[in-house]
Amino acid sequence: MIVVRASGYLFDHQIRYPAWEADQAQLKKWLAEFNLGGVILLGGSSIELQARSQQLQSWAKIPLLIAADVEEGIGQRFPGGTWFPPPMALGAIYQQNPALARQYAAQMGRTTAQEALAVGINWLLAPVVDVNNNPDNPVINIRAFGDRPEVVAALATAFIDGAKSYPVLTTAKHFPGHGDTATDSHLDLPAIPHLESRLAAIELPPFERAIAANVDSVMTAHLLIPVWDRQKPATLSAKIVTDRLRKQLGFEGLVVTDALIMGGITQYATPESVAVMAVEAGSDILLMPDNPEVAIASIYDAVRSGRIAEQRIQESLTRIWQAKNRVLTAAESTLELSNQAARQTVDSILQDSLQTSEAGLIFNQNQDGRNLIVVDDVLNAAYLDLNSPAVTLPQRFNYQRQIVDSNTLDCILLDSRPTLLQVFIRGNPFRGKAGLTTQAKQIYQRLIANGQAVAIVIYGSPYTLAWFKSIIDPNLPWAFSYGQMEQAQAIALSALFSHDSHMLGFNSQRNFGF
């Protein structure tokens, strides 16, 4: 009933999050002696992950569930696999062509499941079925398929149907809906103050559809829903997990908590109490408790004292075994990652969700221009290096790179060169904010007002695009892509510099050819 976080790398010196990821000796002890149910992995390339998954399975007496947050494909977390655009890109396509969007979502599910199986992952912590109708949502944001329940439901179920082409588990998250918050539950406990009628109309339909599509698991959210339970967060509430999810919605699969190291739950109660209350609420699997030994001991003591009935534990074990039997008897998949068909699907989604102005193209500068690239965190921008299209393509037109962190923008107004502005911004866990800071807005406004900006490219948030569109002249060229990966950069910049991507050497099948 316990799933712990583990590094996807093979060696201890590669561990990136030591507060959450145990070293080899500790992890091996937990798996061998405590019979943990599984691990959730982050880090390492796709090829390395295959070896890591085999290693972890070899340490366990009972076959493991191996999970990963792969909402945008294996390549989102593990380089080498296919990295799809964020789900909201499909929601944008749905507005114009629902059938095509569903087709893309199904292909996304199939490819993600196939590649997961190839690297040893058997549990997809996807899809997100939250309805992101709050533009200030810092954590769900473009991870959602959209801001309307019918769109989210249609695309999430298509993803689930596609994934079921392979023997992996799927997950609908975050119950009962994390889309209408301005607080990141990784940092604090958000509250959803809506009435029952509103929850029934907006938040619940995608979960109902996912359950009807036989989703394998549902992840609970660290949210306070006062209309249902004024005291306990959803993760720890029997009124929500058992009465609403199990009895009212009829869900019979696995219930898994969101990570129990998140601020939204650690600030509520001690690790010992959280573990016991999660089981009492009806969860089958506790994801990422701070210390699995403490969680196990706490639950054991609660059973011995009679606080938790042995039958309650047996019910979860039965569901876990049923889930494991569906995925652990599968034959090993051929290691095929990011094949031509998958990359073409990514290209097509990016192209069909791309937005551009009608202001014309950018041409070569007679003098050196500036390619100003703004990222949330320079040290954590996996989509960007010196050979990325965002850097190399503008160089051909005499725009020289300047890469800055969004928190260190003050210096950019000291440079008077004509500027191509590229902004990488999206909602992400632990970010704490969804969009531009007041300071960033002021600096961008000055850059645009003084005529220095020759074009703008935004990667990620459509809410940021909306702000830029409210202040720019209609004659200023711009492009917007939901994706941030190299394919997204190449397609967006090609739209600004040339309508013919082949003139720029764009070749998505071989790293763009720059």
Q: What is the pLDDT of residues 429-479, one digit of tens each?
A: 666 666 788 889 999 999 999 999 999 999 999 999 999 999 999 899 999
Q: Which residue has the higher pLDDT, 15 or 183?
A: 15
Per the CB < 8 A criterion, the answer to whether 182 and 192 are in contact is no
The answer on 364 and 232 residing in a single domain is: no
The answer on 179 and 45 residing in a single domain is: yes
Of the residues 327, 362, 388, which one is the last residue of a structural domain? Answer: 327
Residue 66 has pLDDT above 50, yes or no: yes
- Which pLDDT score is estimated for 430? 65
Q: Which tokens in the block code for residue 329?
A: 């008897």
Nearest to 66, CA basis, from 125, 114, 126: 125
| 3-state DSSP assignment of residue 242 | helix
**Dihedral angle, C-alpha 38, 169, 93, 458, nearest 10 °:** 10
The answer on 277 and 381 residing in a single domain is: no
Of the residues 292, 327, 362, which one is the last residue of a structural domain? Answer: 327
The answer on 199 and 92 residing in a single domain is: yes
Per the CB < 8 A criterion, the answer to whether 459 and 425 are in contact is yes
By residue range, what is the domain housing residue 141? Answer: 2-327
Query: What is the residue type of 195?
Result: L
Distance of CA 270 to CAs 90, 234, 265, Å? 40, 16, 9
The answer on 320 and 410 residing in a single domain is: no
Q: What is the mean pLDDT of residues 54-61?
A: 95
- The β-bridge relationship of strands 123-124 and 171-175 is unpaired
Residue 138 is assigned to a structural domain of this protein = yes
- Number of structural domains (the chain) is 2
The answer on 375 and 318 residing in a single domain is: no
Q: What is the pLDDT of residues 96-143, one digit of tens each?
A: 999 999 999 999 999 999 999 999 999 999 999 999 999 988 889 999
Cα separation, 500 vs 498, in Å, equals 5
Residue 232 is assigned to a structural domain of this protein = yes
Residue 457 is assigned to a structural domain of this protein = yes
Q: Which tokens in the block code for residue 390?
A: 């965002």
Active site residues: 186, 258
Cα separation, 100 vs 53, in Å, equals 35
The answer on 418 and 288 residing in a single domain is: no
CATH number for 379: 3.40.50.10870
DSSP code for 451 = T
The pTM of this model reads 0.94
Q: Which tokens in the block code for residue 427?
A: 């909602």
The answer on 310 and 360 residing in a single domain is: no
Per the CB < 8 A criterion, the answer to whether 38 and 67 are in contact is yes
Q: Which tokens in the block code for residue 252?
A: 């019979």
Q: What is the mean pLDDT of residues 162-190?
A: 92
SS3 content of the chain, % helix, strand, coil (to 5): 45, 15, 40
Residue 215 is assigned to a structural domain of this protein = yes
Nearest to 464, CA basis, from 430, 493, 421, 408: 421
CATH number for 118: 3.20.20.300
CB atoms under 10 Å from CB of 414, counted, come to 6
Q: Which tokens in the block code for residue 194?
A: 């809506």
The answer on 277 and 156 residing in a single domain is: yes
The answer on 124 and 32 residing in a single domain is: yes
Residue 98 is assigned to a structural domain of this protein = yes
Query: What is the residue type of 24?
Result: Q
Quick one: CA dihedral 8, 12, 13, 16, positive or negative? positive
Residue 501 has pLDDT above 50, yes or no: no
**Dihedral angle, C-alpha 448, 452, 454, 456, nearest 10 °:** -40
The answer on 375 and 287 residing in a single domain is: no
Residue 341 is assigned to a structural domain of this protein = no
The answer on 267 and 193 residing in a single domain is: yes
User: What mean pLDDT, rounded, does the chain reach?
Assistant: 92
Cα separation, 231 vs 273, in Å, equals 14
Residue 226 has pLDDT above 60, yes or no: yes
Per the CB < 8 A criterion, the answer to whether 106 and 159 are in contact is yes
Residue 344 is assigned to a structural domain of this protein = no
- Which pLDDT score is estimated for 395? 92
Per the CB < 8 A criterion, the answer to whether 220 and 241 are in contact is yes
Q: Which residue has the higher pLDDT, 213 or 363?
A: 213
Q: Tell me whether the omega of the peptide bond preceding residue 292 falls within 30 degrees of 0, making it cis.
A: no
Q: What is the mean pLDDT of residues 203-232?
A: 97
The separation between CA 108 and the C-alpha centre of its own chain, rounded to angstroms, equals 14
Cα separation, 50 vs 64, in Å, equals 14
Distance of CA 267 to CAs 164, 186, 190, 407, 411, Å? 37, 11, 12, 28, 38
For residue 185, with 0-12 CB atoms within 10 Å meaning exposed, 13-18 middle and 19 or more buried, which class applies? buried
Per the CB < 8 A criterion, the answer to whether 236 and 268 are in contact is yes
Residue 363 is assigned to a structural domain of this protein = yes
Cα separation of the two ends of the chain: 49
